[in-house]
Structure 1
Amino acid sequence: MTAPMQVAYEDILRVWREADTIPEIEHAWLFDHLMPIGGDPAGPALEGWTLLPALAAQTSRIRLGVMVTSNRFRPPALLAKIATTVDIVSGGRLDFGIGAGSRPGHPLARREYAAHGLPFHDADHAVGSLAEACTVIRRLWTEAEPFDFPGTYVQLTGAFGNPKPVQRPHPPILIGGRSSKVLRIVAEHADLWNIPGGDLTDAASRSALLDRYCAEIGRDPATITRSIHLQVSYDEPGSTRTEIGLALDAGFTHVVLGLPSPYPASVARWVTDELITPSLRR
């Protein structure tokens, strides 16, 4: 992951182009914030869904996505159209990441809503609208006829998606979050589930809770890939390797390595040699 804040487009492009040439690196990610959530609060932040197709057009192999899209920022039908366009530009390499949106207790994330004239509803509204958004987006990607959707949070009349995404039946859906309410949505809608790293004991317990929610609706929990974001330490790669090993042991097979900026020269090769290859040899 290259969080597009406090960094220039050219630097992100350099990393993604290099990663695209390294088979051990399977996917690359941006985040979805309109202002920095770390470092200088007045520093630069590029918009993720605008940046993503630019990077897709200059790569050819790696899967790519936004981890994760804030469902609070864009109406879901518009988001479905944006994501379809990226899937087409990338030749079918999009992993569609979405979540309920920034948690209320993060002041640097919370400020971006007021700064852009966006409403910030309570958690119940955020979760309820996420569930409806996942339903609407999948239908726009797959249904051949226009439809109405009279939801509690989303209302559509004559909704129709054309063209459809390259991937069939649709791009993989990755939902990020750790709350029990979000995990119920994951059980129903997601192909992948992502949780931020940190307390791996908590992450494992959340994964077990997801298993339970899947069982309640008759879904095989093994059909949801477990994904985790881990921050990379350039100075102490051994500590990052240890975290990767613990995450793999806990069943998280989709590992996203967050790269702090500024990015060293040949950072993708360094990540492969110092972190990925040793982890694959465990």
Structure 2
Amino acid sequence: MTDRRVRIAVQLQPEHAPDYGLIRDAVLRAEDAGVDIIFNWDHFYPLNGDLDGAHFECWTMLGAWAEQTERVQIGALVTGGGYRNPDLLADMARTVDHISGGRLILGIGAGWNQKDYDSFGYEFGTPGSRLRLLAEYLPRIEHRLAVGNPAAPGSVPVLIGGGGEKKTLRLVAQHADIWHAFGDLETLTRKSAILAEHCAEVGTDPAAIERSSSWPGVDAAQGFVDAGVTLFTIGTPGPDYDLTQVREALAWRDAQG
């Protein structure tokens, strides 16, 4: 169990919205509904349906969200680690954090969608090479955030998404404030124990790393909370950005007291 407050996030997936105004409206509706965090994702093409359909870029969008919103935290779930020079990414994060008044979460992962890499001229490599690059980049990101002037007004928590037991979870133990896990409750519980082992090896308190997961539904959510999850995210595609499931999750959150 944890004494953290359970939080609900929505991931507004920036695909199949032919007009950015549809996303702007969804951000307004999500904040008004009471979500704690609004995420997008860092891809260059849709991941569902027409893979050449309408799409918008992640970080310019986060800058707009930083101005548009007042209360919610914002971030990417997650940024592709190999898409930008890490010092540039850190300075972008620092700037968006200033625009938002300290509400940015820096979500990052190794990347996986080959079409993004091939179409934009990045080397796709292998899962191992992308993880090695992420391991190289994370200390540079931390350093650049530490020396930026003016310093970020918020703590800029780092969220790492992924579940690789040998490499990714070790990076989580070394660098993350939030770990976003994938999979069912049994998988999460097993990998959370492996994360604790990595934390012991590198001298990190495993309780200091927040556990995050996709929303499993009202009936299953308490089991995830009992396993230590305190952040749930509902993915919502365009162009409609239907928040019905988000509102169900918010009602469940508020009933927890």
- TM-score of the superposed pair, with normalisation by structure 2: 0.88
Partner of 2:104: 94
Superposition deviation, residue 245 in structure 1: 3.0
Superposition deviation, residue 17 in structure 1: 1.0
Q: Give the distance between the partners of 2:248 and 2:238, measured in 1 at CA.
A: 18
Q: Show CA shifts across 1:146-167 (max 9, x none).
A: xxxxxxxxxxxxxxx3332122
Name the amino acid aligned to 1:229. S
Where in structure 2 are the equivalents of 1:197-236 lying within 5 Å? 198-230=183-215
SS of residue matched to 1:131: helix
The answer to whether the 8 A contact 1:244-1:279 is kept is: no
CA 113–264 in structure 1, closer or farther in 2 if over 3 Å, else same: closer
Alignment counterpart, residue 191 of structure 1, candidates 159, 177, 182: 177
Matched, 1:12 2:16: no
Alignment counterpart, residue 59 of structure 1, candidates 66, 69, 78: 69
Alignment counterpart, residue 137 of structure 1, candidates 131, 141, 150: 141
Alignment counterpart, residue 94 of structure 2, candidates 84, 90, 100: 84
Superposition deviation, residue 273 in structure 1: 4.1
Q: Give the distance between the partners of 2:250 and 2:222, measured in 1 at CA.
A: 10
Matched, 1:250 2:227: yes
Q: Give the distance between the partners of 2:247 and 2:161, measured in 1 at CA.
A: 28
Partner of 1:114: 118
Alignment counterpart, residue 126 of structure 1, candidates 130, 143, 157: 130
Q: Show CA shifts across 1:218-245 (max 9, x none).
A: 2211000001123xxxxxxxx7222433
Q: Show CA shifts across 1:150-192 (max 9, x none).
A: xxxxxxxxxxx3332122xx41111111102110000011000
Where in structure 2 are the equivalents of 1:29-44 lying within 5 Å? 29-44=39-54
The answer to whether the 8 A contact 2:12-2:241 is kept is: no
Matched, 1:275 2:249: yes
SS of residue matched to 2:49: coil
Name the amino acid aligned to 1:209. I
Name the amino acid aligned to 1:18. R
Bigger CA drift: 64-73 or 130-139?
Answer: 130-139
Superposition deviation, residue 19 in structure 1: 2.2
Structure 2 gap ranges (5+) = 1-10
Q: Give the distance between the partners of 1:276 and 1:228, measured in 2 at CA.
A: 15
Name the amino acid aligned to 1:16. V
Name the amino acid aligned to 2:104. L
The answer to whether the 8 A contact 1:241-1:279 is kept is: no
Number of residue pairs matched by the alignment: 244
Partner of 2:160: 175
* Identity rate, percent: 36
Q: Show CA shifts across 1:53-85 (max 9, x none).
A: 111111111000001100111110110111111
Larger-gyration structure (1/2): 1
Superposition deviation, residue 264 in structure 1: 5.8
The RMSD of aligned alpha carbons is 1.8
Alignment counterpart, residue 50 of structure 1, candidates 54, 60, 64: 60
Q: Give the distance between the partners of 1:115 and 1:243, measured in 2 at CA.
A: 39
- TM-score of the superposed pair, with normalisation by structure 1: 0.81
SS of residue matched to 1:165: coil
Superposition deviation, residue 271 in structure 1: 4.2
